[in-house]
């Protein structure tokens, strides 16, 4: 069994900060509006045909993403069982951050057929491709749809997380060398900022640096790059959630590094 070269204190700090975010309500920000759309393709056929099962990410990473989407199971049951419109560029959103506005009717049926009654599925299909204020106008017609947490969690882990993990693996080299905590930290980053590792401009400086570090297998450089992104939102109002999310991702990546 491998031994640690130094005491690893990152996980307790990670859990303490995550608990604080959960107490603050979890959903402290929307996906970064300067980056890509907030919903990744479904994992089945997302590039035109059956995709291999993605590698697993850690439970801590899944907990991190859930916290920023709905805070906790208890909060979900009280606030998110019915469709919502998070405003901005978002579409009608159901379950744990599943944005119907960014999926096709075929994908919606594939992802939710086993969880929704046919009438509810047909109703939600009206929201496919509808975003912004048009989605907000559609919300009253769909507000009766009720999705328990157990169903939302099943689609989240089996569809959303799987899709974002595949997107992350397809976008970066050497992900097979990462601990599940490290990969999960990057999946959380992609979930929030999109797979923007090749985009030009100063806004994406750290994303490009992460891509280079993955290619060079200099994984120890990545937490600093994740933290470096805080500069983007440091002076923006209502960005406390983004700053905390970047710190949590950096801590989780560091914890993964300490395990190998």
pLDDT digits (tens, 9 = 90+) for 139-158: 999 999 999 999 999 999 99
pLDDT of residue 1: 37
pLDDT of residue 51: 56
pLDDT of residue 28: 47
pLDDT of residue 2: 42
In-domain check, residue 239: yes
- Domain residue limits at 171: 10-81+148-258
The overall pTM is greater than 0.75: yes
pLDDT of residue 87: 86
In-domain check, residue 251: yes
Backbone angles phi, psi at 214, to 5 degrees: -65, -40
pLDDT of residue 45: 38
Cα 43 from Cα 122, distance rounded (Å): 22
In-domain check, residue 172: yes
Give the gyration radius of the chain's Cα atoms.
18
pLDDT of residue 55: 92
In-domain check, residue 125: no
pLDDT of residue 37: 46
pLDDT of residue 3: 42
Given a contact cutoff of 8 angstroms between Cβ atoms, the answer to whether 28 and 21 are in contact is yes
Q: Structure tokens of 187?
A: 């999946």
pLDDT of residue 238: 78
pLDDT of residue 236: 84
In-domain check, residue 128: no
In-domain check, residue 131: no
Domain tally for the chain? 1
In-domain check, residue 75: yes
In-domain check, residue 96: no
pLDDT of residue 149: 97
CATH number at residue 205: 1.10.530
Stretches where the chain sits below pLDDT 50 are 1-5, 28-31, 33, 36-50
Cα 186 from Cα 188, distance rounded (Å): 5
pLDDT of residue 35: 57
- Distances in Å between the alpha carbon of 42 and those of 39, 95, 158? 9, 15, 9
Q: Taking Cα atoms as reference points, which of 142, 46, 37, 33 lies closest to residue 95?
A: 142
pLDDT of residue 85: 94
SS (H, E, C) the chain: CCCCCCCCCHHHHHHHHHHHHHHCCCCCCCCCCCCCCCCCCCCCCCCCCCCCCCCCCCHHHHHHHHHHHHCCHHHHHHHCCCCECCCCCCECEECCCEEHHHCCHHHHHHHHCCCCCHHHHHHHHCCCCCECHHHHHHHHHCCCCCCCHHHHHHHHHHHHHHHHHHHHHHHCCCHHHCCHHHHHHHHHHHHHHCCCCCCCCHHHHHHHHHHHHHHHCCHHHHHHHHHHCHHHHCCCCCCHHHHHHHHHHHHHHHHHHHCC
Which tens digits make up the pLDDT trace of 57-114? 999 999 999 999 899 999 999 999 999 998 888 899 999 989 999 999 999 999 999 9
């Amino acid at each position: 069994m491998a031994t640690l070269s130094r005491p690893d204190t990152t996980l307790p700090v990670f859990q303490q900060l995550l608990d604080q975010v959960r107490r603050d309500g979890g959903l402290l920000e929307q996906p970064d509006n300067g980056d890509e759309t907030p919903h990744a393709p479904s994992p089945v056929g997302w590039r035109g045909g059956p995709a291999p099962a993605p590698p697993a990410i850690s439970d801590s990473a899944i907990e991190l993403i859930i916290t920023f989407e709905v805070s906790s199971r208890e909060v979900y049951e009280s606030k998110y069982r019915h469709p919502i419109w998070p405003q901005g560029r978002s579409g009608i959103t159901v379950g744990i951050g599943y944005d119907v506005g960014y999926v096709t009717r075929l994908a919606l049926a594939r992802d939710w057929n086993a969880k929704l009654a046919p009438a509810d599925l047909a109703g939600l299909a009206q929201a496919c491709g509808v975003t912004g204020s048009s989605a907000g106008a559609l919300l009253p017609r769909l507000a009766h749809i009720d999705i328990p947490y157990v169903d939302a969690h099943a689609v989240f882990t089996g569809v959303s997380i799987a899709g974002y993990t595949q997107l992350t693996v397809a976008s970066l080299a050497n992900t097979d060398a990462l601990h599940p905590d490290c990969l999960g930290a990057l999946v959380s980053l992609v979930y929030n900022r999109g797979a923007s590792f090749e985009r030009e401009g100063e806004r994406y400086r750290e994303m490009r640096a992460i891509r280079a570090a993955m290619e060079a297998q200099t994984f120890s450089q990545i937490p600093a790059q994740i933290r470096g992104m805080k500069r983007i939102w440091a002076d923006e109002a209502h960005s406390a959630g983004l700053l905390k999310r970047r710190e949590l991702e950096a801590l989780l990546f560091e914890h993964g590094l300490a395990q190998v």
